[in-house]
Each structure stands twice: as C-alpha cells, then as structure tokens.
A and B are shown apart, each in its own frame.
Chain A
Amino acid sequence: SQQGEEDPQALSIQEGENATMNCSYKTSINNLQWYRQNSGRGLVHLILIRSNEREKHSGRLRVTLDTSKKSSSLLITASRAADTASYFCATDRTGGGNKLTFGTGTQLKVEL
C-alpha cells in the first residue's frame, strides 16, 4: 500500500522558476528519501533526511521535514528542462527493516 501522498500530482513551470513538491505520510519514520524517475527508467536517489533533521540542502535541492505534521517538501530552485521527471518521496518506517514505502509521485514538467 502507498504510505505517502505527493502534492501536486502534476506541476508545470517555466525554466528558471522554483518547483515545490509536498509529501505527507502516516507512520513514524527513521528517515524520508526523495527520488527522481525519468520516464520508463529506474529511480535516482536525490536526498535523505533523518527524522531528527528539519532541513537539508544538496545543490539546487532543499528538503524540509516536519515530523509533527508528518510531511516533507522538496524545493528545486532555478529549474531546468532536464529536471523534467517524476519525483517520489519514500519513507523508511520505524522498525520497518529499511524497506521503503513510496508515495504516488509528482510529475514535474519544466518548459523552455
């Protein structure tokens, strides 16, 4: 079953704009991870944020985590056409053996 819900389901922006995607989940977690998937391809790991962290940066990516609200956000700044992909959040549940439970994904389209 899907643990998380991403919001929005689809997002279309212009190159250079920022893109924000949100993720909500239901159970306590060890960490939350964001992945990117280009059409028909495997998943590329973007960033991991631990349950005791509130914000993390990696290049143009900024991730926040609010465990009290069971939510996370992924911000991509200065987007590029190459950022066009589906983005998934995945939670590593407490006591879950490190297996991941994925959300439904946000389809991001960055137009020139």
Chain B
Amino acid sequence: KQEVTQIPAALSVPEGENLVLNCSFTDSAIYNLQWFRQDPGKGLTSLLLIQSSQREQTSGRLNASLDKSSGRSTLYIAASQPGDSATYLCAPQTGANNLFFGTGTRLTVIP
C-alpha cells in the first residue's frame, strides 16, 4: 500500500520568504501526483497536477517537481503571502482510481 510522508508537518515563515514543501511516497509506480491546499474545516483546492512523465509543473508563484524514481515531489512557493497559510497535501495516484494522501504540511505565513 502506498505510504505518503510530508515534511515538515508544520512550517512558519515571515511574509515574502520562498519556501519548499516536501513529499515522499513509497510506491514509485504512480500515474500522476496532485498538490492540494486545505483551509481549516474546508474542502481541498487543487493546485497542480504533474503527470508521471513530467518533471515539473508551474502555476503562478507555485512550482512543483516530481522525481518518480526516487519517490519524491516538492512544492516551491515563491514570495509567500499571508493568504498562502493553509495545509498543503500531496497525493500520488496509484491504481486506476486511488489518490493516497499524507497528513500534510501546515503552513503559516506571518505578516
């Protein structure tokens, strides 16, 4: 069964700082990997989807990379803002209909 680990579990940074969130997974036979953000008590908002054949995907200030063979993905957030405060989740897709989740990284950006 796919195991997903996200490090760090919590991160607090001053506004404007660049930061990296890490995700590792045990089964490298994935079809794609998706990054989400979740605000407290709310649903998940999709940020980026990286197909297994891709190495990188960018959307605005966000850049996600994927190293499938080593079972790792990173989410880079540039020039962080207080509105970026949320829990960030990565979810590799293994099998036809299954996203596996870790417990996420809780980010706080201090004004």
A binds B: no
Which residues from chain A sit less than 8 Å from chain B, CB to CB? none
Q: Which residues of B contact A (CB under 8 A)?
A: none
